[in-house]
Structure formats: C-alpha cells, structure tokens
Chains A and B, each alone.
Chain A
Amino acid sequence: MKTDFRYIRRKVFGTVMLGLSLLAALAAVSMLFWILGYTFIKGISAVNLDFFTKLPTPVGVPGGGLANSIAGSIIVVGMAGLMAIPVGIATAIYLSEYGRGVFASTVRFVSDVLAGVPAIVAGIVAYALVVTRMHRFSAFSGSVSLALLMLPIIIRSSEEIFRTVPDTLREASFALGVPKWKTILSIVLKTASGGLVTGTILAVARVGGEAAPLLFTSFSNSFWNFNPGQPMATLPVDLFNYSISPYQDWQQKAWAAALVLVGMVLLLNISARLYLARKGFKR
C-alpha cells in the first residue's frame, strides 16, 4: 500500500490537533485544581473556630471572625429563596402542565432572557425598587436582588424536571378519575420532588456566591443584625471588601472567607449533581 506524503501530512496534522484538544481539557482541569488548591492553602490557616463564632475586629486587632456575615448570607439567601422558590415552581407547573399557547412561550422566553441578566443589574433594580424607597440599604433589598437572579434559574430547572415525569403516570391517575390539579399536586410534584430540591439547591449555590448585587443593597455591617430592614453583612461582600484592602490581616480574612464560601458552594453543587446523576436526570 502506497502512503504518499500528502497523507502523512494529514495524519500528523490530525494527531497534533487532537493532541491539542487533550491539552485544552487538561488545562481547564488544572485551572480548577490550581484555583481551588491555592484557595485552600491560603485559607486554611485563617479558618478556625473564631472565624465562625466571633465578630470582625478592626484593622490591627488580631483575632475575630466573620460570624455575622456567615449568618447574614444565610438570612439574605434564605429570604431570597422564600420569594423566588414558590413563584418559580408554580410558574414551572403552569408551563409544563398547562402551558401551550403564546402566553406560555412568552413566559418561557422572558424567563430565559431574565436568566442572562447580569447580577449587577439585578442589584441596580433592587436598589431602585427598594433602597431608594426605604432610603437605606437593607438585607431585604439584597434578598430582592438575589430572588431576581434565582427566579429564572428555578423556573427553567423545575420545568425540565416536571417534563421528566412520564405521561403514563399522569394518565394512570386521570384514568382513576383523579382531577388534573390533584394529579399535579399528588403525583407530579411527588415524583419530581427530588429533582426540584436539587434544582433549588443549585440555584441557591449559584446566587449564594454573588457579591455584585449585594454591594449596594444589603451593603455591609460590622455587627450582628437580624433586622431585614437594616444593612446586613454577607460573606461575599466582606470577602470583596477585605480582599481589596491594603491590610495583610484583612487579606488573610478574605482568603478564609473565600475558602468557606467555595466550600459551601461546591458542597451544595457536588451533592446536588451527584444526586441528580444517581437519579438519572440529565443535568
């Protein structure tokens, strides 16, 4: 068999290109480990019990922690969830169970477009909507901005989950004479519940790491605050403020905050994804 020069060139070129694609995948995976590993090494030395239990100290005063901003993050994200999750799931029910016409496809299109709105814009909207009317920064306005980000994510993932519920289940229920709304509440919601929970967890993980919309809504606070009408410290905002400060001990705290934040976000993410993979849902 003759192997001509031209074919050898094709073959070498192809092998080089496929080799480069392997390299690209390796590069991306090593970026992941580089970023996570560096965060871990820099952060672990500053993470201790105080970090989770104490209030922040002024510059130069050693010790202290970010207990208030960890709690603040939970509160702000929690309130956002309370607003976005019911609306999101109810909308997804409508879209997957009743939605056929122009109205449903408009809602679908709008929520897909909303999903692409930058986080910082959600912050501006919450600012204009809540902060300017209340005349002060507040945890509540932060929650509004995060809810705005969460809503389209929840609608999209829940609708996808509802669609994985096989029609035969619905039909079996109709055949027993159960009306559609009861079928949805009892059969469809119950079958989809696992997927809904994981979809919601992913949405929480996604917005929980956001700082941009909180900078000028929930703002920050050096003290304990449980009043949603007042400014509240959150982990991402503190991380940002500490990281761009010129003080060594604050930067140190930023790394610790980064480690805790990344730990929480990835823990939520990995557990949700593993659960989904085990259940056999796509994505």
Chain B
Amino acid sequence: MAEQLSRKKIISPEKIFMGMTGLFSLSVLLISVVVVYELFSASEPAFHKFGLKFLITKEWDPVQKVYGALPFIWGTFYTSLLALLIALPVSLGIAIFLSELAPAWLRSSAGFLIELLAAIPSLIFGLWGLFVLSPILQQYIEPPLSNLSWLPFFTGYPLGLGFLNAGLLLAVMIIPTISSISRDVMYTVPANQREGGLALGMTRWEVVSKVVIPNSRSGILGAVVLGLGRALGETMAVTMVIGNTPQFSLSLLDPGYTISSVIANQFTEAFDKLQISALVELGLILFVISVIINAFAKLLMLRMNRFSGGARI
C-alpha cells in the first residue's frame, strides 16, 4: 500500500523507461523528417532554376550549366524494367522449385545459397559485370544481336557496356529478393488448396499454375515491387557497367546512365553549386520513387495477410 502511494507521487521508473524508448522511436520519425528536409533544401537551387522542366530536359551539360534529368530517369527505369523482365520468370521458377519440388534436405540448403547471392556486395557484381560479363557480351552475344538492328532494341555497336549488361546484372541481383519472398508466399498457400487441385485431377504443374500462383499473386506482386525498388536504387554495379553516357535510347546495346550512377560519378567532382544541387534533386527523385514503391509493397503485403487470414473458415 505504501509503495503504491509513493508511486503516485514520483514519476515511476516504468514511465521513464517507456518514455525513453518512446523517445527513440520518435527519433526515427524525426530522422525521416530530417532526411526529407535536407533533400528538399539542398535541391532547392536547381528546382528554383529549372522547375519541373528538370524532369523533361534531355541535356546535362556542366559547362553550359544546363541540367536535365530525363536521360537518367529513362536509364533508371529502362534498366530496372529490363531486369524485372529477366528476373521475374527465373525467380518464379526458383520459388516453384523450392516450395513445390525440392525435397526437404535440398529446400533449406538451396534456399540458403540463393539468399547468399543477396548478401554479396553490389561492388562485387559490378566487378564481375565489368571484367567477366562485358567481354562475353561484346564478343558472343551482342554481335549476333546487332544483326537485328532493324529493331530499335538492337541498334548500335557491341560495346559490352550498356543497358543490356546493366539489366542482366540487376536481374541477378534482384532474383534473390523476388524468389525468396515468392517462395515464402507460396509456402503459406494452405495444403487443402493444393489437395483440392490434385483431387480434381490436376497435374503437379497445373496445381502450381492454377492454384498456388493465383493464390499467391498479391504476395508475388509485392515481391516484384520490392525487387523493382532494389533495382531502381542500385548504384555501384550499374555505375561500373552502364557505360555512363547520358542518352535517351531504346537500344540494349547502347551505353546509358542512371540516376544513381550519375550521382556516384559526378558528386565528388562537381564544384559548381548548381550541379550539386541538380544531383541532389536527382537523389530526391530517386527517394520519392523508392518511398512510393516501398509503401506500395508494404500495403500489398498487409492486404495479402488480411486476404489469407480471411480465406480461412
């Protein structure tokens, strides 16, 4: 009783502890406010000078002090979409293999190896792309492709560096992300759904394609969105293989430039204040895209949890 009374008078250690951890949580919100503030304030000069035209201007010329984001935005999305196009079927294949085919002993070890791929630093992929993939592309893959130059995708010369190399490299880098999330989602498809398919006389593949994948579609979409997010922001590997040429081209053989690689290449060398500000504005664009994408992925995952929870009787 006495203890209870005294507790009312002084601030209890309970409240102090909760308040302190709460303050740390608050600091996370403050940090994100600071992040947003710094990005906006440092890109203000460029925004002031170019306005929204920044987004659609093709030139990037530090000598003339004209800066436009279009080639970089294009390069970022083009390489990322290319990567998704390659990575999605492969990742789904991996997820199907791990969740539906692999025996138990192989399941965990193969899954482990594929997740290790995600742990390799981006620089190492870049090194491999630069010294291994690039010569292979230049000598064996791109020359036959350039024979198809009547298609806009295959004009230009086989350089080994450019959209194709970056797209392939990004694909390898996002495959672990997409495949491991898809596998986790496929695991959660209830056994009675699979059995329902089998009992109707479905083959194993039909159970996968007509039951498991449709049941997992919002989770797979979430995985794809997260993979896209990783590809869009990826810096070092792309910087090493993209060819660093700001141009607006459809051709896979052409060199290009992405938002993150122009920041990586020019930030330290930029002594013109306006150029730095333009680079920060590019960073802000990347930030906004990644926030939208991650928020979307998170909502998808929440929806999926509710959906699978609701499907239970």
* A265–B120 CB distance below 8 A: yes
Whether A1 is near chain B, meaning CB under 8 Å from some CB there, is no
Dominant secondary structure at the A interface: helix
**Residues from chain B with Cβ under 8 Å of A153 in the complex:** none
Q: Map CB proximity to B onto A138-161 as digits: 1 under 8 Å, 0 otherwise.
A: 000000000010010001000000
Interface residue from B28, B89, B117, B268 paired with A151 (Cβ < 8 Å): B28
Which residue of A86, A123, A124, A265 has the most chain B CB atoms within 10 A of its CB atom?
A124
Nearest 10 A/B pairs, CB to CB: A118-B233, A209-B121, A24-B93, A14-B205, A116-B294, A181-B17, A94-B21, A90-B24, A212-B235, A21-B93
19 contacts between A and B (CB under 8 A): A21-B96, A21-B100, A28-B114, A34-B128, A35-B128, A97-B21, A103-B25, A113-B295, A121-B290, A125-B35, A128-B42, A179-B14, A209-B122, A211-B236, A243-B127, A243-B240, A244-B130, A262-B120, A265-B119
Interchain nearest-CB distance for B276 vs A (Å): 9
Report if B198 contacts A (CB, 8 A).
no
Contact A244 B240 (CB under 8 A): yes
CB distance from B41 to the nearest CB of A (A): 7
Query: What does DSSP make chain B's interface, helix, strand, loop or mixed?
Result: helix
Interface of A toward B, CB cutoff 8 Å: 10-11, 13-15, 17-18, 20-25, 27-29, 31-32, 34-36, 38-39, 42, 86-87, 90-91, 93-95, 97-99, 103-104, 106-107, 109-121, 123-125, 127-129, 132, 148, 151, 155, 179-181, 184-185, 205-206, 208-212, 215-216, 219, 236, 239-240, 243-244, 251, 254-255, 258, 261-262, 265-266, 269-270, 273, 277
Given known A24-B93, A124-B39, contact A99–B25 (CB-CB < 8 A):
yes
CA distance A198 to B282 in the complex (A): 35
A110 touches B28 (CB 8 A): yes
> Which single member of A15, A132, A261 contacts B123 (CB below 8 Å)?
A261
Nearest CB in chain B to that of A16: its residue: B205
A118 contact from B16, B100, B117, B260, Cβ within 8 A: B260
Q: How many residues of B contact A (CB 8 A)?
A: 91
Give B130's nearest chain A residue, CB to CB. Answer: A243
